[in-house]
């Protein structure tokens, strides 16, 4: 099962038949494993990583540090859920260090991100403070190099 998941994580377009060939597991078993993983939410989503700048559509990305007051009996979970429900929030992580949550946000403009922080995030009752870092350039995302060509990972075969 782990090998099947690793292959799908690298390329979600692989068919059960292709995975069967690569792993030696019968295609019917691969299909069952994938269906089970989708049902129990081991597989959450099939995703395409797009370099929107190449398409001509710029996006502004920001990493927002959020200090929060944990709530009795639920800790950080309740405030994290309120934050991850906002459509602007691409990812939300509980982190160690000087702040509690790291929130990755995207929008069309810096002003939209500023408005999100000022009007939606900062006013939340448990939020004690925020620091916004605008991402100036993305080099790699989800294991994919965004700018330039991917270099071959194998050494060429010589005879």
Q: How far apart are CA 124 and CA 76, in angstroms?
A: 13
Q: What topology is assigned to 52-137 in CATH?
A: Alpha-Beta Plaits (3.30.70)
Per-residue pLDDT for 154 more than 60?
no
pLDDT confidence band for 157 (50 / 70 / 90): low
Per-residue pLDDT for 48 more than 90?
no
Domain locations in the chain? 2-39, 52-137
Supply the pLDDT for residue 152. Answer: 54
pLDDT digits (tens, 9 = 90+) for 102-121: 999 999 999 999 999 999 99
Own/partner pairs for 82-85, CB < 8 Å, 24+ apart?
82/124, 83/121, 83/124
pLDDT digits (tens, 9 = 90+) for 2-20: 999 988 988 889 999 999 9
């Amino acid at each position: 099962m782990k090998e099947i998941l690793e292959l799908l994580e690298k390329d979600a377009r692989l068919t059960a038949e292709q995975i069967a060939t690569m792993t030696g597991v019968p295609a019917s078993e691969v299909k069952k494993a994938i269906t089970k993983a989708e049902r129990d939410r081991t597989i959450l989503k099939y995703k395409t990583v797009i370099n929107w700048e190449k398409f001509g559509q710029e996006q502004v990305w920001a990493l927002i540090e959020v200090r929060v007051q944990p709530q009795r009996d639920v800790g950080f979970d309740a405030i994290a859920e309120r934050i991850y429900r906002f459509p602007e929030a691409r990812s939300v992580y509980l982190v160690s260090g000087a702040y509690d949550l790291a929130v990755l946000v995207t929008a069309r403009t810096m002003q939209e991100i500023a408005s999100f922080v000022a009007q939606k995030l900062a006013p939340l009752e448990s939020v004690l403070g925020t620091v916004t870092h605008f991402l100036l350039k993305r080099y790699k995302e989800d294991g994919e190099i965004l700018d330039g060509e991917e270099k071959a990972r194998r050494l060429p075969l010589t005879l």
